[in-house]
Structure 1
Amino acid sequence: MAERGVPPVLDGFTFVDLIGQGGFADVFRYRQLMPTRQVAVKVLLESALEGPSQQQFHAEANVMAQLSGHPSIVPIYQVGVSKDGRPYLVMELCPPPSLAGRFRAERFAVPEALETMIKIAGAVETAHRAGILHRDIKPHNILTSSYGTPMLTDFGIAGTAADAHDTSYGLSVPWSPPEAFGDDMPTDPRSDVYSLAATMYSLLAGRSPFEVDGAANDNATLMSRIERQPLQRINRGDVPEALQDVLARAMSKSVGERHPTAMAFARSLQDVQTRLHLGQTRIDVLDASPAAASAQDSEHRTQVRPVQIIVPDDAAGTRVRPVVIQTATPPPIDERTALRQDAARRAEPVPDTMARGGPAVADRTDGSHFLAPATSLEGPAAEQDRSHSPWALAVGAGLALVVAGAVGVAVLTGGSDDSPGPAAAPPTTRSAPSGDDVIGAAVLPPVGLRHTSGQDAVVFTWSPGGDGGDDGYLVRTGPGPQELSAAGPPVTDLTARVETAPGDIACIEVVAVRAGTASEPLAGCEVNR
């Protein structure tokens, strides 16, 4: 019998090193000879060759093989049995660390956390549309490709909704929803939605959602908190209230109050990106349904592609995870995936010292989606190179019309590769890129952006930021902050109409122009209600 951690001899592969160990399998790094590349090889332990573990391992191979075409699911290259009888999977090698190796050691910026979890939510939505629940979403199971793409892995405990009485599935308590601690396994996609949100919470908070520094964090105590205590807000000033609300809804203790699908959760995160004046991350979904071939997203923020997926009848699983990179002070919390009957075995929880100040977080009810001008979210912003920005070109063209009295239109090409982040400094001046440098007084940006929704349009109005002596305003509009139209000549009206269907988003940017100088833009978006 091979000892644990001993790699098998595989034809066409050369062993490099051990990179991870789990309850039922080891993960090794091998060098594949043809084509030449490094790969990860997951090998089932000999002690797990009999019984449900082997069946779960085979089911994982089937599930990953059918889902691995997704850009955020680790692809599987080959399946086989070694000469000593151990089954193995050959997968893409994702260099360490996983998100688990990062979230306790560094602070995730809000834009990175949003982009990462939107991509992972697309992977989870793809699995759900194939009838597969992951059931073990957590930072440890999100790896990063060599190109920086987040990738979901470890479908070893994934399963279908066919058997609600299967108690052999795994459980990672810190990221599991309350219903996972009952007698039956979760069979609702909204359980995975909870775990998606709990994972994102961890990236932003630097801890699992119900973990308390300096207090007991054993499984029994965590389970008690998850079932009974309200979710605490993330104590970071740069995490916007809109994002706090999305996480609170997705992690509601009531399944019915959560986002209905991983897709809905991802779209809520996209809306947060819009509020922060960030470009929306596309949601990639592979769909096996016949309607997928003709599916179109009117907002162009979701890519749904048809794919043939065969769902195995028995898709229960095993448990294995990458090696966790420990910080200097390892957290006193069990982050491993455990067999459900072991993790859920009730012991008396240690007396809880978690602060109980404040009521449970409630979802917003005012329906507000309006965006104020960009404010500082991540501290002082870096200086942006604006020499190629559409506003710089528009100001130059617009001022030429004002000064020379010429009749024309400034032709632009949509957005810029240098999309500015959230504004952090006071308004600054920006000179027109003309042949002669025109120097003018500082121009205050417009203020008081307001909106009125109509049947087929959103009407925006604003007020001058100074004494009202501006030459005019350059206006750009569109269905998203990264899809704004070209600016025409300066206008003197303090209003703009953006045609859009009910339920769609209308966005605007307004720049004041005076004596050769342009202000910072006033920007906002609104859903046509």
Structure 2
Amino acid sequence: MSSKRPPAQAPDIPGFTYLSPLGTGGFSDVFLYEQHRPHRKVAVKVLLADVSGPEARRRFEDEANLMAQLSTHPYIVTIYQAEITADSRSYLAMEYCSRPGLDTRYRRSPLRVDEALALGIQICSAVETAHRAGIIHRDIKPANVLTTDYNRPALTDFGISGTSDTNVTGLSIPWSAPEAFETSAPPGVHMDVYSLGATIYTVLAGHSPFVRPGGDNAQTALIERITNSPLTGLQRPDVPASLNQVLAAAMAKNPRSRFGSAAELARALQRIQVELGLSVTSFEVLDDSLHEPTHDQESEATRVRSVQSIDDAQRPAASPLISGVPGQRAGRGDAAGRPRAFAPGKATPRFESVRAAQPVPAPEVIGPQDVAPGEPAPNKFPRALILAAVLSVLLVAAVLGLNQLTQDRDDPRLVGPTLGGNEQPADALPGGTVPQVTNFEYSTVGETITFKWQNPEPNNGDFYRWSPVTATSTGAVKQTNSASATLPRSAQETCLQVKLVRDDGRVSEPARFCTSAASEGTS
């Protein structure tokens, strides 16, 4: 929040005690209050827009209701209450985030790459959730990403500013898309995607994308650069070329050239995490399929039956030891009630599941048999021994099976979902595996050596990332559209590592080739 404009007087709100101002913005003032019941500190945002008329009140209530539905998301600020005071001032009582927000954090020091990637995916999941509910944020920027008491990001300021006519003076210019400066441009998903990219860029660079430290950063100069100047890549050695490419795509001048959704941007960021060997951050949105009506009122996987007494003659075959077979949904999300998290790749934590034990048939009960008159009764002693032996074998097998099942649950190597023959791992990257480049050739000219290779499955938009490698280190990564690279000749041997990169961001495993610099040949 900006502190240029002094806040208006805090309203008198029944059930709350005013404590102090927290900040001001273009559309609201934020104050710290103490709620009486339940007893807690809350942030109260008092909107500046006049809601004295019935239409303005209805619009405020509609948008507040939508925001309240979103506030169950783990990365969206929780809304406790939305009311209009006696003097027609609308306010929202919200979760108080006491830790320094993203705006303060990046100004102190730019974030690490792993921090920025994780935070970007988390905020993308919040924005995607809003978009699926029909809400455009309009003002995504670091100042609107707060930090909860549990050190999680929390997006705030959803679209309530939309109750007023939006113009250039109401925009956060440094993070706004070029088309936002056109009065005829309607707000949409593509604008939020741009602002997401600009926010991620900002926390890595330490300043917004088109600010020039020490240069002319007036509003008109910023708008001119945002509209017409190309994006300067992040000049940090720890930022991979793929991240610069993703940010450039998110902030493309043409809205149609950007990612089609916040979810697509998040997937691209997850691929970079995989590329860098980082843990993949969960992308959390509500899975609507979990709310589809079913014919049965209870899920078979979670139903609890009462204990019943069953005659031996009516005893059914033993049921599996575990009824919650992978693939059956037991309810929404995790045990805490959060939406189900999903993310591609093996690095994502998966719900533990164990293959259900196969049913063990109940032993056949051999009852009394009728004996014809005059016939000797059959010898029952051997039959009893056989029956006892069968029961013993089945009992031992059941105990061993249960013991193995318990051991499997404790063995971390065996944790993971059981996939059928036609099932795919959750959120596998679309398009399958990218093949490695092949057929390396090399030639030496003077003090340089040139490598050439072949793309086994060329696609439109393919390019390559290569770097010189040694037994202990990897050199600077360079990018090329041609299947060749030239580098200085080594005194002993020269080694090259090449990755094939698809237009959608998928990357192959590295292909490595080494050769003596004194020779020429083909591999």
In structure 1, runs of 5+ residues without a counterpart are 304-363, 376-424, 427-446, 454-459, 467-529
CA-CA distance at 1:97 after TM superposition:
2.5
CA-CA distance at 1:99 after TM superposition:
1.2
Measured at CA, do residues 450 and 226 of structure 1 come closer, stay the same or move farther in structure 2, by a change above 3 Å? closer
CA contact (8 A) 2:250 2:265 kept: yes
Identity within the alignment, %: 44
The structure carrying a bigger helix percent of its residues is 2
Q: Counterpart of 1:73 in 2: which secondary structure?
A: coil
CA contact (8 A) 2:97 2:148 kept: yes
What is the CA deviation profile of residues 39-64 of structure 1, one whole-angstrom value per residue up to 9, with x for unaligned ones?
11112348665598766643441231
Matching residue's letter, 1:240: P
Matching residue's letter, 1:259: F
Q: Does 1:89 align with 2:61?
A: no
CA contact (8 A) 1:13 1:30 kept: yes
Q: Does 1:102 align with 2:105?
A: yes
CA contact (8 A) 1:75 1:91 kept: yes
**Cα distance between partner residues in 2 of 1:67 and 1:249:** 27
Match of 1:188?
A: 188
Of 13, 16, 25, which aligns to 1:13? 16
Match of 2:277?
A: 277
Q: Does 1:122 align with 2:151?
A: no
Measured at CA, do residues 233 and 159 of structure 1 come closer, stay the same or move farther in structure 2, by a change above 3 Å? same
Q: Does 1:263 align with 2:263?
A: yes
Q: How does 1:368-517 map to 2 (within 5 A)?
A: none
Matching residue's letter, 2:46: V
CA-CA distance at 1:138 after TM superposition:
0.6
**Cα distance between partner residues in 1 of 2:7 and 2:512:** 72
CA-CA distance at 1:219 after TM superposition:
1.8
**Cα distance between partner residues in 1 of 2:463 and 2:349:** 23
Matching residue's letter, 2:115: E
Measured at CA, do residues 249 and 239 of structure 1 come closer, stay the same or move farther in structure 2, by a change above 3 Å? same
What is the CA deviation profile of residues 309-362 of structure 1, one whole-angstrom value per residue up to 9, with x for unaligned ones?
xxxxxxxxxxxxxxxxxxxxxxxxxxxxxxxxxxxxxxxxxxxxxxxxxxxxxx
What is the CA deviation profile of residues 150-174 of structure 1, one whole-angstrom value per residue up to 9, with x for unaligned ones?
11100134769xxxx9869942111
**Cα distance between partner residues in 1 of 2:62 and 2:40:** 26
Matching residue's letter, 2:216: A
CA contact (8 A) 1:133 1:158 kept: no
Q: Does 1:77 align with 2:99?
A: no
CA-CA distance at 1:25 after TM superposition:
2.4
Whose relative contact order is higher, 1 or 2, with alpha carbons under 8 Å and at least 6 apart? 1
Match of 1:215?
A: 215
**Cα distance between partner residues in 2 of 1:139 and 1:296:** 24
Q: Counterpart of 1:104 in 2: which secondary structure?
A: helix
The higher radius of gyration belongs to: 2
Measured at CA, do residues 54 and 298 of structure 1 come closer, stay the same or move farther in structure 2, by a change above 3 Å? same
Measured at CA, do residues 96 and 464 of structure 1 come closer, stay the same or move farther in structure 2, by a change above 3 Å? closer
Q: How does 1:29-428 map to 2 (within 5 A)?
A: 29-45=32-48, 49=52, 57-157=60-160, 170-288=170-288, 367=462
CA-CA distance at 1:212 after TM superposition:
0.9
CA contact (8 A) 2:135 2:159 kept: no
**Cα distance between partner residues in 1 of 2:116 and 2:342:** 28
What is the CA deviation profile of residues 443-472 of structure 1, one whole-angstrom value per residue up to 9, with x for unaligned ones?
xxxx9888999xxxxxx9999999xxxxxx
Could you tell me the TM-score, scaled by structure 1's length? Answer: 0.53
Matching residue's letter, 2:244: Q
CA contact (8 A) 1:68 1:75 kept: yes
Measured at CA, do residues 268 and 302 of structure 1 come closer, stay the same or move farther in structure 2, by a change above 3 Å? farther
CA-CA distance at 1:367 after TM superposition:
3.9
CA-CA distance at 1:271 after TM superposition:
0.7
**Cα distance between partner residues in 1 of 2:208 and 2:273:** 23
Which of 204-213 and 85-94 deviates more? 85-94
**Cα distance between partner residues in 1 of 2:91 and 2:509:** 63
CA contact (8 A) 1:64 1:76 kept: yes
**Cα distance between partner residues in 1 of 2:184 and 2:83:** 33
Matching residue's letter, 1:34: R
**Cα distance between partner residues in 2 of 1:33 and 1:204:** 41
**Count of residues in Structure 1 that have an aligned counterpart in Structure 2:** 325
Matching residue's letter, 2:136: L
Measured at CA, do residues 462 and 368 of structure 1 come closer, stay the same or move farther in structure 2, by a change above 3 Å? closer
Measured at CA, do residues 194 and 296 of structure 1 come closer, stay the same or move farther in structure 2, by a change above 3 Å? closer
Q: Counterpart of 1:238 in 2: which secondary structure?
A: coil
**Cα distance between partner residues in 2 of 1:20 and 1:114:** 28
CA contact (8 A) 1:117 1:196 kept: yes
Once superposed, what is the RMSD of the aligned Cα atoms? 4.1
CA-CA distance at 1:370 after TM superposition:
8.4
Measured at CA, do residues 222 and 58 of structure 1 come closer, stay the same or move farther in structure 2, by a change above 3 Å? farther
CA-CA distance at 1:201 after TM superposition:
0.5
Measured at CA, do residues 51 and 228 of structure 1 come closer, stay the same or move farther in structure 2, by a change above 3 Å? farther
Q: Counterpart of 1:123 in 2: which secondary structure?
A: helix
**Cα distance between partner residues in 2 of 1:99 and 1:279:** 22
Could you tell me the TM-score, scaled by structure 2's length? Answer: 0.54
In structure 2, runs of 5+ residues without a counterpart are 1-5, 293-339, 351-458, 475-494, 502-507, 515-523
CA-CA distance at 1:247 after TM superposition:
0.3
**Cα distance between partner residues in 1 of 2:116 and 2:216:** 28
